[in-house]
Structure 1
Amino acid sequence: MRKVGPIFPSALRAALRGVRCGPLPCLLLSKARPDHPDGPSSWVGLPGLEPSTRTVAARLRVHERSVTRWRKAWREGGRPALLSKGPVSREKLSDRQWARLDAELRRGPLAWGYAEDQCWTLGRVKTLIGRLFHIGYTIEGVGKLLHRHGWSVQVPARRAIERDEEAIALWKAEVWPAV
């Protein structure tokens, strides 16, 4: 195998380690996502280095069909052909519906009868969307929808109701240094 020099992105170097190459020019993939800055748009055609589709797919942990599809797109359209085409499907909620959902989420779960833990779960948001707009989402779809609009997962701190902050501070100041 030909020695890989500094012209390759580091992920491409990693993908090439231990790969046996054939005699044809190649398109090598350094990242799995086609629209990633170091993705197929940074594939390098080099004579004498062409790992098999199976090898590239295994190294990048993607399906062989993805590698074949990306190579074909690169050959036919170059870099522009590899750019993201956007989400597979259009969003079910209109901008107006999303604004209303956002406002309801900000009101909190208590406003919708979830008094036990004051947390929005994906299941609860799914139910809320169904009640407000009569639109069905999957749990995964709700997660993607919220992420797309800037909401992130928040895990509440698990603290006992009986927790005494003053006693803890006193213990940390007096007992802990002695330990």
Structure 2
Amino acid sequence: MSRTAEIARAVGVCAESVRRWCRVWEKDGASALRRRASAGCPPKVDDSRVEAVGTALGRGAQAHGFEAGLWTLECVGEAVARVTGVVLSRASVWRLLTGRVGWSLQRPERRAVERDESEIARWVAHEWPRIKKGR
């Protein structure tokens, strides 16, 4: 087994990556192998504003004038625009919420309006044991 293959297996990459790293190191030195910042546009909402967004969202949707009391991406986008002055796409709002604010998708439980908790408790306590016993 070649030295390159041994290094590749130890590091958990393919041998071609090790060969490429060696070429870069020989040509430009160790500094060329350092991790660089990712390419692409910087986020529209900077880190100082993310905390303000999280605080504003924490007050709830109704505090921002939304009737439903639940956050949707559209509602969050409007709130972000009010707080920061930055208009974001739905995808950017999602990335902001999940990646930077630390929220996750939550769906409310669906329960019938007619649901009677006391009747359910009575049924479980009295009827269910009778039905189970009759088997």
Do these two structures clear the TM 0.5 threshold for a shared fold by scoring above it? Answer: yes
Residues 1:98 and 1:44: Cα distance change in structure 2 (over 3 Å): closer
Q: Distance in 2 between matches of 1:115 and 1:151?
A: 21
Q: For residues 112-156 of structure 1, what are the alpha-carbon distances to aligned partners after superposition, in whole Å with 9 as ceiling and x for unaligned?
A: 11122x211111111111222221211111111111121111111
Residue ranges of structure 2 left out of the alignment (5+ in a row)? 6-10, 23-31
Runs of 4+ in structure 1 deviating by more than 6 angstroms, as ranges, are none
Residue ranges of structure 1 left out of the alignment (5+ in a row)? 1-24, 27-40, 46-70
- Residue identity in the other structure for 1:145: L
- Structure 1 or 2: more helix by fraction: 2
TM-score by length of 2: 0.67
Q: For residues 67-105 of structure 1, what are the alpha-carbon distances to aligned partners after superposition, in whole Å with 9 as ceiling and x for unaligned?
A: xxxx5x553227x96x78547432211233222211110
How many residues are matched?
A: 114
After superposition, residues 104-119 of structure 1 pair within 5 angstroms as 104-116=56-68, 118-119=69-70
- Residue identity in the other structure for 1:42: G
Structure 2 equivalent of residue 120 of structure 1: 71
Structure 2 equivalent of residue 21 of structure 1: none
Q: For residues 28-50 of structure 1, what are the alpha-carbon distances to aligned partners after superposition, in whole Å with 9 as ceiling and x for unaligned?
A: xxxxxxxxxxxxx52344xxxxx
Report % sequence identity: 30
Structure 2 equivalent of residue 42 of structure 1: 12
2:110 alignment partner, SS class? coil
Q: Distance in 2 between matches of 1:133 and 1:76?
A: 44
Structure 1 equivalent of residue 21 of structure 2: 77
Q: Choose 1 or 2 for highest CA Rg.
A: 2
**90, 113, 124: which one aligns with 1:172:** 124
